[in-house]
């Protein structure tokens, strides 16, 4: 193994608030929205497995201490207790990190929750490559795992605008939901006055050009940012944002794909088992045999470091999007 010199930058602390230059941000959009919703809906309870601070749920705890339960570092029990609360009429919003709820508590999500269509809403922090603590804390296969569970809704919100709407929307749909949770200072990329999240619906956000980007989570924001960067070169592309991974909006994906010569899929996840795989399945099943380019992570474990360092190293940063767009065959 060759020796390597450290590069500039450092791993950030788990609860560190990270500035987002040039963007409006909302602080703790999940917890503040849940606290508002909790006032309207007394059946909502909150739980965490020792990740209250790091999942932004503390505004709910502070508003409703009697309706909040910190179960300690026990993710299986977090999910079981949430299921039990749901089965006596509560809507249980629970938080931990994506890695722990998916890898450790999978059977409990499948059987205690999804199989019973229990009203458990799992908000899973640090999804994908947004954490510098290495593979132990980077949930890079969570969409793949969770989409494998029947009767589970899986959502990867883009930004603060969408997350705030998701917090409310999932209270109105029955059953178990897994939501990838952005925390801290969460950027506003979608216009709160015009954007409307709907469970199971993809939304087209940009039109034009011959390249169509199908993306989920904050990779949609990155696609929009990249289009701004290349706009003065006259480059345009379509962007279809797919926040709901399951149930998958097959019709919108097909309609979108038919309108573009070149299809690029972008996700904060491995390029196998997640959105790209879903898109390929969808196109293949419809007889639409097209190459699909993928922006995402390799089938690997990833190292520690700052988010900027990791994203550049593993090819999911803004530069990668710009590179893909400027190599467009338009």
Partner 1 sequence: MTTPDKGPPPDLDALHRHAYALRRTMLQMAAGKGEGYIAQGLGFADCLAALYFGELRHDPARPDDPDRDRFLLSTGHYSIAMYAALAEAGYLDRDELPTYALNGSRLPMSTFDDLPGIEVVGGSLGQGLGQAVGMALGLRLDGSPARVFCEFSDGELDEGSTWEALMSGATFDCDNLVALVDCNGIQADGPVTVRIEPVADKLAAFGWDTVEVNGNDLGELTAALAGARAPDGRPKAIVMRTTPGYGVPTVMARERAHFVRIADGEWDGLLRELDEHYGVVAHV
Task: Enter the tokens of residue 26.
Answer: 């909302």
CA 95 to chain centre: 14
Q: Does 40 bind partner 1 (CB under 8 A)?
A: no
Residue 116 in the binding site for partner 1 (CB under 8 A):
yes
Considering only 79, 188, 239, 316, the residue that binds partner 1 (CB under 8 A) is 79
Residue 90 touches partner 1, criterion: CB under 8 A: yes
Q: Distance between alpha carbon 315 and the CA centroid of its chain, in Å? A: 18
Q: Does 119 bind partner 1 (CB under 8 A)?
A: no
Contacts of 128 (CB under 8 A, 6+ apart): 98, 138, 139, 140, 142, 180, 217, 267, 268, 269, 297
Contact segment (CB under 8 A) with partner 1 among 86-94, 176-184, 191-199, 312-320 equals 86-94
Q: Is 86 in the site for partner 1 (CB under 8 A)?
A: yes
Strands lying side by side in the sheet with 120-125: 68-70, 44-48, 91-97, 120-125, 176-181, 152-155, 244-246
How many angstroms separate the CA atoms of 265 and 147, rounded? 17
Toward partner 1, which CB reaches closer, 45 or 190? 45
Number of shown-chain residues binding partner 1 (CB under 8 A): 28
Q: Which of 79-87, 192-200, 265-273, 317-325 is the region at the interface with partner 1 (rule: CB under 8 A)?
A: 79-87
* Shortest separation between residue 85's beta carbon and partner 1, angstroms: 4
**Smallest gap, in angstroms, from Cβ of residue 20 to partner 1?**
37
Closest by CA position to 52, among listed 39, 37, 62: 62
Cα separation, 265 vs 277, in Å, equals 9
Candidates 23, 115, 168, 206: give the one binding partner 1 (CB under 8 A).
115
Under a CB-based contact definition with an 8 Å cutoff, are residues 169 and 199 in contact?
yes
Q: Does 77 bind partner 1 (CB under 8 A)?
A: yes
Among 35, 58, 81, 181, binds partner 1 (CB under 8 A): 81
User: Which helix (DSSP H) or strand (DSSP E) does residue 154 occupy?
Assistant: strand 152-155
Q: Is the Cβ–Cβ distance between 169 and 32 less than 8 Å?
A: no
CA of 89: how far to CAs of 82, 119, 211, 226, in Å?
A: 11, 8, 47, 45
Comparing CB distances to partner 1, the nearer of 109 and 143 is 109
Q: Which is nearer to partner 1, 176 or 215 (CB)?
A: 176
Residue span binding partner 1 (CB under 8 A) among the ranges 77-85, 199-207, 280-288, 304-312: 77-85
Does 175 bind partner 1 (CB under 8 A)? Our answer is no
Binding site for partner 1 (CB under 8 A): 45, 66-67, 69, 71-72, 74, 76-77, 79-90, 92, 107-108, 111-112, 115-116
């Amino acid at each position: 193994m060759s020796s390597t010199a450290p590069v500039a930058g450092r791993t950030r602390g788990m609860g560190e608030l990270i500035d987002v230059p040039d963007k409006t941000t909302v602080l703790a959009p999940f917890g503040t929205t849940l606290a508002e919703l909790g006032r309207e809906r007394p059946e909502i309870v909150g739980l965490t497995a020792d990740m209250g601070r790091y999942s932004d749920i503390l505004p709910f705890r502070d508003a409703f201490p009697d309706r909040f339960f910190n179960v300690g570092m026990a993710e299986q029990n977090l999910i079981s207790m949430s299921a039990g609360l749901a089965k006596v009429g509560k809507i249980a919003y629970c938080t931990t990190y994506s890695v722990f709820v998916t890898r450790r508590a999978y059977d409990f999500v499948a059987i205690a929750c999804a199989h019973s269509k229990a009203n458990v809403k799992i908000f899973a922090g640090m999804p994908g490559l947004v954490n510098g603590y290495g593979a132990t804390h980077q949930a890079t296969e969570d969409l793949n795992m969770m989409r494998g569970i029947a009767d589970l809704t899986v959502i990867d919100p883009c930004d603060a605008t969408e997350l705030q709407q998701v917090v409310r929307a999932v209270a109105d749909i029955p059953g178990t939901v897994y939501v990838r949770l952005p925390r801290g200072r969460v950027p506003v990329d979608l216009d709160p006055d015009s954007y409307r999240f709907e469970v199971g619906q993809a939304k087209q956000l940009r039109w034009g050009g011959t390249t169509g980007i199908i993306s989920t989570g904050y990779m949609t924001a990155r696609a929009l940012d990249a289009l701004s960067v290349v706009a003065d070169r006259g480059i345009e592309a379509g962007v279809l944002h797919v926040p709901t991974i399951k149930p998958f909006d097959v019709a919108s994906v097909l309609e979108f794909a038919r309108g573009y010569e070149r299809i690029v899929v972008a996700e904060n996840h491995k390029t196998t088992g997640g959105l790209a795989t879903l898109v390929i399945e969808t196109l293949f099943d419809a007889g639409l045999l097209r190459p699909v380019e993928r922006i995402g992570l390799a089938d690997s474990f990833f190292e520690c470091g700052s988010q900027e360092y990791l994203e550049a190293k593993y090819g999911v940063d803004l530069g990668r999007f710009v590179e893909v767009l400027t190599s467009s065959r338009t």
